[in-house]
Structures are given as C-alpha cells and as structure tokens.
Structure 1
C-alpha cells in the first residue's frame, strides 16, 4: 500500500515539474509574444535587409547579370550612379537651379556620361588589367598591378572624366576643354593616387575578381559625390563673393555719382 502511494506521489511530482506547476508557475511565464502583424512585418524587414548576402540575394543576382551581360549591366549601373551622384552633390551643396530644384539639367547629362562613356571605358580598362595579371598572386605582381592602374589606367580615365565634365559644364571650344583638363588633372590625380592603391589592395586581398566591379562602383560613387559636392560649394562661394563685390562696387559708384551730380560737384 505504501509502495502504491509512493509511486502516486512521484507521478504527481514529475507532472508538476514538467508543467512548471506549483508556486514556480508564476515565475516561469513565457515572454509575451508579439502580435502576428508586427512579427510578420519585422521578419519581412529583416529578410529584405539580410537577403543581399544570401545565395538568392541581390548581390548574387547582380553578379549573375554581370556574367551574363557585363557591358549592359555596367552601363545601367554607372548611368544610375552618376545621375544619383549629381543629385546628391547638388543637395549637399544646396546648389539649386533657377526653379529652386536640385534635379538640374546636369543629372540626365551625367546619366548619359556614366552609361555611354564611363562604363564602357571602365569595362575595357578593368578587363585589360585583370587579363594582364590573371593567375599572378605574388607580391611583386600585386605591386605591378597597382602601378599600372595608377600610372596608365587612372590618367586615361581622369582625362576622359574632366573632358566630359567640361562639355557638360558648357565648354564648346578645344581651348576651353583643354584649360579645364589642365586645371583639374593634378588635383584629381592626387585623389586617385591616394585612394586607388588602398582600394585595389583591399580588393586583391579580400574580394574575388567577380566582385571588383560593384566594389569599385561603390567606392567611386562615394568619392565622386564628395568631390562633386565640394566643387559645387567652392563655386557657389565664389559666385557669392563676386556678387557681393559687384554690389559694393555698384554702391560706391552710385555714391560717387550722387555726390558729383549734387551742388558743388565737378
């Protein structure tokens, strides 16, 4: 009889422990679950943010497009980034058109430049660079690759860039374009010589070749936006100083004319 009671007590105790029974139930409550709508929205946002790193994510899709149709993909990417770069630089520098908008006529022009000039040129240059050093992973080969990129490829791309920017800005003669290129070549080259070795060394060490294009596009977009915004700010400051100087000179002339035409004037 005592044996039966002991087994019943053990059964009840085991059931209470499994169910969290007894006084511990008040302290073992499960955390409140989020409402289904909020949880679903959070999961959706999380999936959208982290999807890019997955095998079916945005980066994998973009790399697939680069392999299937590299030139067309680069043209669409470069054109979109160039237009966005111009718009962001205008917004950062507060450079509006006569209607007060940041979407100026330079935005579609920059899109044309990015799609039909910058992308094909970059496609050819990067392809040549990768073919010259394909399969060469020694330190000497990496250093040579950086030197060729900075001393051959970068000058060509910067000259084309400055020429295009001069034409977009309104230059119509050879002398105007030449003056723009000569004035901006060394400043742009200095930026290239500082950033390009670091970017290329990072790509050599950590990135596979198929990801070089989107990585270079991203870095170029950030640097280009900064340079473009800085240039716009300097131009706007120069225009403001010129306007203020012209007003001060005009006020002085008006005061002189007023005094000269008054009684006792010459």
Structure 2
C-alpha cells in the first residue's frame, strides 16, 4: 500500500505575503522595509538610552503618549528611508547579482554570488544606510556624516560578513523555501537594530563632545 505525503500547510498570512511578493516584488519589499525600519528605529532608541522628548504639559494626550514610548519624527523618516531608498536599492543590487549568475548552479557560481554579495553589494548598502541614518539622527554637515560612517562602517561590515553567509546556510539547510524571506528579514531586522543602536550611541557621544568643547570655548 503506497502512501502520499500530505501537502505542506502554509500559514494563510505567510501565503498571502509570498503571493504579493511574487506578484509585486518591489512594492512588497518597500512596505516590508518601511515597517521594519519604523520598529527598528523605535527599538534602537530605547536600547541606546536616548532621552525621551520633553513635551509641554498642555500638549495633547497623543504627544505625551508618543514621547513616552519614544516615537519621534525619526521613526517615520526611517520608514521613508526603508520604502524609498533601502528597498529599491536592495531590489536593484540583488537583481543585478542574480542576473550575473542566472542559469549557473555549480559550486563556483554559489561562491561567486556570495563573494559579490559580501564584497560589492553589502559595502554599498552599509555606506548608504549609515549615511542616511547619520542625517536622520542629526548630522548636518558632510564632515559629520563622514565621521559617523567612518566610526561604524567596518564594524557593520564585519557583522554583515559574519551573519550573511551563516543566514543563507541556515535558510537553505534547515528551513522550507517559503520561510527563507521571513527568516532573512528577521536577521536583517536584528542586525539593523544593532547598527542603529550603535550609531545613536556614537552620535550622542559626538554631540556631548561638541557641547563640552563649545562650553570650554
């Protein structure tokens, strides 16, 4: 008597997300990136110990509520960054990388694709990310942006080099294909929160140093 394996059941929400990703890849990625960047910004603000914004006592209730949970103007700005910068850039770079290796499935192709992702795609993404977050977090001059990028670039690149290959290996070996995208998004959310937290701490240290210097002068 032969038996037929039951088809794998997929969560309806996950199935709907994957269907939208297939039908409208850029739009779905933009919305996903925007939402994740919003929560990433709020979480990083808490983790970095950024003081809550002071609001007037007679301000509306919602302003006090937003200040208490540290949702400031930077959160929607990071949402716009995710939707208008990060997602389109990632979509284009990954698309170019895939076209370079289309139809190639051997070990050399896999290694080559990993090298391109780590040595070309990741450095570009990190430089753009750190530059944008520097501006969003208060950098107002090119020199401020350059200093912020320089302070966090190699650390961010090292973390990416450690996590990206491991993430791909875990996804391919232990997860069903329909779970790869959510898993990679989760890893990117965690590493992005870490980067953003570090940048906020660096920015606060730079501001404190500048304030101290101004007071001494």
Task: Report the TM range for the smaller structure's normalisation.
Answer: 0.7 to 0.9
- Once the two structures are TM-superposed, the CA of residue 106 in structure 1 deviates from its matched residue by 1.2
Partners of 1:216 and 1:210 lie apart in 2 by 11
Corresponding residue of 1:22: none
Corresponding residue of 1:70: 25
1:87-98 correspondence to structure 2 within 5 Å: 87-98=42-53
Corresponding residue of 2:93: 125
- Once the two structures are TM-superposed, the CA of residue 219 in structure 1 deviates from its matched residue by 0.8
Helix, strand or coil at the partner of 1:147: helix
Corresponding residue of 1:60: 15
- Once the two structures are TM-superposed, the CA of residue 156 in structure 1 deviates from its matched residue by 0.6
Tell me the number of residue pairs that the alignment of Structure 1 and Structure 2 aligns. 195
Whether contact under 8 Å (1:75, 1:114) holds in the other structure is yes
Unaligned runs of 5+ in 2: 1-7, 55-66
Helix, strand or coil at the partner of 2:76: helix
Unaligned runs of 5+ in 1: 1-52, 251-266
Whether contact under 8 Å (1:96, 1:104) holds in the other structure is no
Partners of 2:201 and 2:132 lie apart in 1 by 20
Query: Of the candidates 36, 58, 76, which is equivalent to residue 81 of structure 1?
Result: 36
1:163–1:232 CA distance, 2 compared to 1 (3 A):
closer
Partners of 2:210 and 2:140 lie apart in 1 by 24
- Once the two structures are TM-superposed, the CA of residue 119 in structure 1 deviates from its matched residue by 0.5
Deviations 1:14-48 (A, max 9, x none): xxxxxxxxxxxxxxxxxxxxxxxxxxxxxxxxxxx
Helix, strand or coil at the partner of 1:164: helix
Corresponding residue of 2:79: 111
Whether contact under 8 Å (2:156, 2:195) holds in the other structure is no
Whether contact under 8 Å (1:167, 1:177) holds in the other structure is yes
Deviations 1:170-214 (A, max 9, x none): 223323222222222211111111111211233444567775443
1:134 aligns with 2:134: no
Corresponding residue of 2:64: none
Query: Of the candidates 102, 113, 116, which is equivalent to residue 148 of structure 1?
Result: 116
- Once the two structures are TM-superposed, the CA of residue 74 in structure 1 deviates from its matched residue by 0.6
1:222–1:185 CA distance, 2 compared to 1 (3 A):
same
1:137–1:208 CA distance, 2 compared to 1 (3 A):
farther
Whether contact under 8 Å (1:54, 1:60) holds in the other structure is no
Corresponding residue of 2:4: none
Query: Of the candidates 132, 141, 153, which is equivalent to residue 185 of structure 1?
Result: 153
Whether contact under 8 Å (1:89, 1:228) holds in the other structure is yes
Deviations 1:129-182 (A, max 9, x none): 223223433222221111111001001101110110121122233232222222
1:172-251 correspondence to structure 2 within 5 Å: 172-205=140-173, 212-232=180-200
CA RMSD of aligned residues (A): 3.0
Greater RCO, 1 or 2 (C-alpha within 8 Å, sep 6+): 2
Which structure has the bigger radius of gyration?
1
